C-alpha cells in the first residue's frame, strides 16, 4: 500500500508540474481529489481496513491528500500569474502614439462658439476677462444701476444663497456684467474687454435654461461713441457668421446700465425653418447694447465727464443655435452622445480668422 501511495504521489506531482493551463490543472484536481478521484478512492478504502491498518494508512493517505492539494494551489498561482502577464502583454497600449482607430471625443458647440468669439475679438484688440459665478449684490445689481424694485432682483427670477451672518445674500450672477464692474474697479481706461461665461436665471423652456452662456463686451475711453459700437458689432457679426456684409438696425430700448440703450437687429431671411444672415427682407433681434450709464461709471470711480464707453451682451447658446441650425436649447445640456457627435467639433479644428472659424 505504501508503494501504491508513493507511486500515486510521484505521478500526480509530475502531472501537476506539467499542467499547461488552468483548465488542465482543474482536470487533474478532479481526477485526484474529486468524488471518484484516485486519492479519494484510496481514502474510501480505509473503512475496510483493520484498526491497526487504519492507524498506519490514515496518516499516510491524509498526507498524500494534503501534498496534492498544496501542489495544486502552488501550480495554480504560477499559472494565474502567467495568464495575467500574457493578458497585460496582449492588451498593452502605447499612450504616446496618436489615437487612430478609437472613438474620438468632440468639442461642444458652446465651447467652439466661445473660442470663435474670443478669436474674433482678439483680432479687434479686446482682452478676455473673467469673474466668479457667485457674486455680491453690489457687483451684480447695485453698481449696474439696477434699482431695488427691479424685477431682476426678485427671487422668482434670480437664484440667491442663504444670507450670511451679516444678512448679505450672495447671488448666482444673472449676467456677466459684474465682470465689467470688476474690470473698471481694478483697471484704468482705456478698457477693451469681452466677458464670456456661465450665467443663471430661474427660467426653463425650449429657448431658455436655468444656466446659460453669455458674452458681454465693454469699451471705455475718452472719445468712444455709438459709431464705434455699431462698427464693432458689424465686424463681429460679419466674422462670426462668415458673410461679406451685414446690415444692422438699432432700436431704442431700456437697460438700467446703459443710456441710451438699443436692441440690435440683423437683416436676414427665413426659409423653410432656417435663417440666413446677411441678406433678405426680415430682421432678427440678436443682442442688446448701449452707452455705459454715467451712474455705472461713478460706481466704478470713473468720472463720466472724462470717460464714456459702450457695452453689449449676447447669448452664446443662441448664437450657436443660429449658426449651426439647432432648434432646442435644452439639448445643449442633455449630454446625449448622438447629439454631441452630430454637432460637435474635432478637437484640433481650432477656429482662426485666417483659416476660417467653422470647419
Q: Which CATH class is domain 109-343?
A: alpha beta
Asked if pLDDT for residue 359 goes beyond 60, the answer is: no
Neighbours of 183 (CB within 10 A): 19
Asked if pLDDT for residue 90 goes beyond 80, the answer is: yes
3-state secondary structure 155-190: CCCCCECCCCCCCCCCEECCCCHHHHHHHHHHCCCC
Give the model confidence (pLDDT) of 45-67 as tens digits: 777 778 887 787 778 878 878 88
DSSP state, residue 344: -
Distance CA 283, CA 246 (A): 11
Q: Find residue 134's DSSP bridge partners.
A: 172
pLDDT value at residue 253: 94
- The reported pTM is 0.67
Give the model confidence (pLDDT) of 239-272 as tens digits: 999 888 899 999 999 999 999 999 999 998 887 7
Confidence tier at 124 by pLDDT (50, 70, 90): very high
Distance CA 178, CA 296 (A): 11
Find out whether 252 and 261 touch, Cβ atoms under 8 Å. yes
The distance from CA 67 to its chain's CA centroid, rounded to whole angstroms, is 58
Domain boundaries, the chain: 2-90, 109-343
Angle formed at CA 247 by CA 231 and CA 229, multiple of 5 degrees: 20
Distance CA 115, CA 109 (A): 10
Asked if pLDDT for residue 276 goes beyond 60, the answer is: yes
Amino acid at each position: 500500500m505504501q508503494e501504491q501511495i508513493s507511486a500515486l504521489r510521484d505521478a500526480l506531482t509530475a502531472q501537476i508540474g506539467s499542467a499547461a493551463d488552468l483548465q488542465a490543472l482543474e482536470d487533474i484536481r478532479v481526477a485526484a481529489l474529486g468524488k471518484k478521484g484516485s486519492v479519494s478512492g484510496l481514502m474510501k478504502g480505509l473503512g475496510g481496513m483493520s484498526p491497526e491498518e487504519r492507524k498506519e494508512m490514515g496518516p499516510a493517505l491524509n498526507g498524500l491528500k494534503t501534498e496534492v492539494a498544496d501542489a495544486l494551489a502552488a501550480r495554480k498561482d504560477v499559472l494565474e500569474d502567467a495568464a495575467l502577464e500574457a493578458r497585460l502583454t496582449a492588451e498593452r497600449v502605447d499612450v504616446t502614439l496618436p489615437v487612430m482607430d478609437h472613438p474620438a471625443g468632440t468639442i461642444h458647440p458652446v465651447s467652439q462658439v466661445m473660442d470663435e468669439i474670443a478669436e474674433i475679438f482678439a483680432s479687434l484688440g479686446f482682452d478676455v476677462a473673467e469673474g466668479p459665478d457667485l457674486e455680491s449684490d453690489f457687483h451684480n445689481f447695485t453698481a449696474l444701476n439696477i434699482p431695488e424694485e427691479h424685477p431682476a432682483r426678485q427671487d422668482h427670477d434670480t437664484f440667491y444663497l442663504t444670507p450670511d451672518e451679516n444678512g448679505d445674500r450672495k447671488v448666482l450672477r444673472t449676467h456677466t456684467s459684474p465682470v465689467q464692474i470688476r474690470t473698471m474697479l481694478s483697471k484704468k481706461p482705456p478698457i477693451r474687454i469681452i466677458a464670456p461665461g456661465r450665467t443663471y436665471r430661474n427660467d426653463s423652456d425650449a429657448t431658455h435654461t436655468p444656466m446659460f452662456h453669455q458674452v458681454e463686451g465693454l469699451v471705455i475711453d475718452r472719445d468712444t461713441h455709438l459709431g464705434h459700437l455699431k462698427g464693432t458689432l458689424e465686424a463681429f457679426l460679419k466674422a462670426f457668421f462668415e458673410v461679406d456684409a451685414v446690415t444692422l438696425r438699432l432700436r431704442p430700448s431700456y437697460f438700467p446700465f446703459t443710456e441710451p440703450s438699443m436692441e440690435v437687429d440683423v437683416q436676414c431671411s427665413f426659409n423653410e425653418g432656417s435663417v440666413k444672415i446677411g441678406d433678405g427682407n426680415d430682421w432678427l433681434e440678436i443682442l442688446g447694447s448701449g452707452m455705459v450709464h454715467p451712474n455705472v461709471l461713478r460706481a466704478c470711480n470713473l468720472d463720466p465727464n472724462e470717460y464714456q464707453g459702450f457695452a453689449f451682451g449676447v447669448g452664446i447658446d443662441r448664437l450657436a443655435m443660429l449658426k449651426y441650425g439647432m432648434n432646442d436649447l435644452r439639448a445643449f445640456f442633455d449630454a446625449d452622445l448622438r447629439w454631441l457627435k452630430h454637432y460637435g467639433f474635432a478637437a484640433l479644428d481650432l477656429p482662426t480668422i485666417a483659416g476660417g472659424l467653422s470647419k
